[in-house]
Amino acid sequence: MPSHDVMPNIELYQPVQVDDALALANRFADRGWLLGGGQDTYGWLKDRAKSTDAMIDLNGIESLRGIRDTGNGIEIGALTTLTEIADSDLIHASYSLLSSAASRVASPQIRNVGTLGGNVSQDVRCWYYRRGLSCYRAGGNLCYADTPEGMNREHAIFDASRCVAVTPSDTAPALVALDASMVIQNVDGERIVSAEDYFVGPDIDIENTTVLRPGEILTAVRIPDTWANAKFYFEKVADRNVWDFALVNIAVVMKINGGTIEDSRFVIGGVSATPKRMTAVESAVRGKSASEETAESVATLASQGAQPLNYNHFKMPLMDNLVKRALTA
Ligand SMILES: Cc1cc2nc3c(=O)[nH]c(=O)nc-3n(C[C@H](O)[C@H](O)[C@H](O)COP(=O)(O)OP(=O)(O)OC[C@H]3O[C@@H](n4cnc5c(N)ncnc54)[C@H](O)[C@@H]3O)c2cc1C
Ligand code: SF4
């Protein structure tokens, strides 16, 4: 008898209230899977590389959608699509860094259904892992990318710990730069973590990309007005302009007064498992002008300490040049 590649049985739940979704998430815990726009999820299911017993589709929960002015910032529901974020006048008026980042994700079709919650909670894109190989991140005991002949052009140059996969999200560096907070709920209540602490590296948890625990749902992202209307810079470098992940992306916020940089945040993606703040650059530019001269003097601080693999040395000058471009834009 030939074997047929059929989809495994998955129970589908479509709650319309957050409380019901939280109860389901609690009941199924690590046997359940939360579904936003499905643009990361469906790849796993279609490739038969991961599956689940119960799919908890969050799309019917209206209270998880939308962008609200909170008086001292904005709150974005986790189910808000990337297109809604890219097109929002409220976000564009004061936090256009996030509009720029959201508008560079994937393709218009993926942005139309992909959600902010899914974008920041998505899994890594390492070829080997996505193909279903049993590497460290999949619970095995080796890394296929970190070998002399491994395909590691897209992988990490910082902070690797057994796994060398990188954060693939375009909105994540922008949210860290804007000092966003992530609102996380479970059946017992709510906890709020900073965007910087939301993402975790393999040294802390090699099988997950965020601090979310089974039973928890990211319900909203809050952006304080701390950096509203600052000078923003976002750039993504990828092999193709659409439908492709960043090789490196950069999100920068700068408060400039009388030509002098009073404060800044420089955050880079695609170089480590989490969005990386370049604190050495932030310190070095404080009190300086945003100019060619400053750019030249601080740029190499960006890639200082990098530990490239065989095929990704190019990310070092790329990082340095993105910092320069941010300072001279
Ligand atoms: C061809 C292609 C190109 C892509 N290019 C890019 C790119 O350039 N840049 C980029 O950033 N991304 C890219 N992506 C990745 C990703 O699909 C999109 O970023 C999208 O935003 C994911 O959102 P989603 O809602 O569709 O995710 P889903 O697949 O629904 O969810 C992704 C993960 O997050 C979890 N999750 C979803 N919502 C929540 C929530 N509210 N609380 C807790 N957990 C949650 C899910 O359980 C799942 O594990 C690409 C994907 C594809 C297929
Ligand atoms: S980089 Fe990480 S995800 Fe990729 S093969 Fe190595 S352990 Fe697995």
Q: Which whole number is the average pLDDT over 185-194?
A: 98
CA of 225 to the centre of ligand 1 (A): 26
Edge-to-edge strand order for the sheet containing 32-35?
A: 11-13, 54-57, 32-35
**How many angstroms separate the CA atoms of 84 and 149, rounded?**
42
Tell whether ligand 1 has an atom less than 6 A from the beta carbon of residue 37: yes
Structure-token pair, residue 317: 């000058």
DSSP states of 212-255: --TT-EEEEEEEEGGGTT-EEEEEEE-SSSSS---SEEEEEEEE
Q: Using 50, 70 and 90 to split pLDDT, how confident is the model at 3? A: low
Q: Using 50, 70 and 90 to split pLDDT, how confident is the model at 53? A: very high
Q: Which whole number is the average pLDDT over 39-51?
A: 94
Return the best residue to mutate from 143, 151, 307 for the ligand 2 pocket (most ligand atoms within 8 A of CB): 143
**How many angstroms separate the CA atoms of 178 and 277, rounded?**
12
Q: What angle do CA 17, 19, 20 make, to 5 degrees?
A: 70
Structure-token pair, residue 132: 């279903």
CB-neighbour burial class of residue 233 (10 A; exposed 0-12, middle 13-18, buried 19+): buried
CA of 107 to the centre of ligand 1 (A): 12
Tell whether ligand 1 has an atom less than 6 A from the beta carbon of residue 274: no
Q: Are strands 54-57 and 32-35 parallel, antiparallel or unpaired?
A: parallel
Pocket of ligand 2 (CB under 6 A): 124, 126, 128-129, 135-137, 143-146, 155, 163-165
Q: Using 50, 70 and 90 to split pLDDT, how confident is the model at 5? A: confident
Return the best residue to mutate from 128, 167, 312 for the ligand 2 pocket (most ligand atoms within 8 A of CB): 128
DSSP states of 219-231: EEEEEEGGGTT-E
Structure-token pair, residue 177: 């730069």
CA of 260 to the centre of ligand 1 (A): 38
pLDDT for the residue numbered 1: 46
Tell whether ligand 1 has an atom less than 6 A from the beta carbon of residue 212: yes
What are phi and psi for residue 301, nearest 5 degrees?
Answer: -65, -25
Question: pLDDT tens, 248-261?
Answer: 999 999 999 999 99
What are phi and psi for residue 19, nearest 5 degrees?
Answer: -60, -40
Query: For residue 100, what are the CA distances in angstroms to 94, 124, 152, 171?
Result: 12, 22, 28, 9
Tell whether ligand 1 has an atom less than 6 A from the beta carbon of residue 34: yes
Q: Which whole number is the average pLDDT over 290-304?
A: 96
Q: Which whole number is the average pLDDT over 180-197?
A: 98
Q: Using 50, 70 and 90 to split pLDDT, how confident is the model at 93? A: very high
**Which ligand lies nearest to the CA atom of residue 125 in the structure?**
2
Q: Whose CA is nearest to atom 3 of ligand 2?
A: 129
What are phi and psi for residue 326, nearest 5 degrees?
Answer: -65, -35
Q: How much is the mean pLDDT over the chain? A: 97
Question: pLDDT tens, 223-240?
Answer: 999 999 999 999 999 999
Question: pLDDT tens, 152-179?
Answer: 999 999 999 999 999 999 999 999 999 9
CA of 134 to the centre of ligand 2 (A): 9
- At residue 4, does pLDDT exceed 80? no
CA of 137 to the centre of ligand 2 (A): 6
Q: Using 50, 70 and 90 to split pLDDT, how confident is the model at 6? A: confident
Tell whether ligand 1 has an atom less than 6 A from the beta carbon of residue 218: yes
Measured from the CA of 164, which atom of ligand 2 is nearest?
Answer: 1
Using only C-alpha atoms, what is the Rg of the chain?
20
DSSP states of 42-71: HHHHHTTS---SEEEE-TT-GGG--EEE-S
CA of 42 to the centre of ligand 1 (A): 10
- At residue 182, does pLDDT exceed 80? yes
Measured from the CA of 36, which atom of ligand 1 is nearest?
Answer: 30
pTM (two decimals): 0.98
Its sign, for the CA torsion 168, 45, 34, 128, is negative
Return the best residue to mutate from 124, 130, 131 for the ligand 2 pocket (most ligand atoms within 8 A of CB): 124
Question: pLDDT tens, 13-38?
Answer: 999 999 999 999 999 999 999 999 99
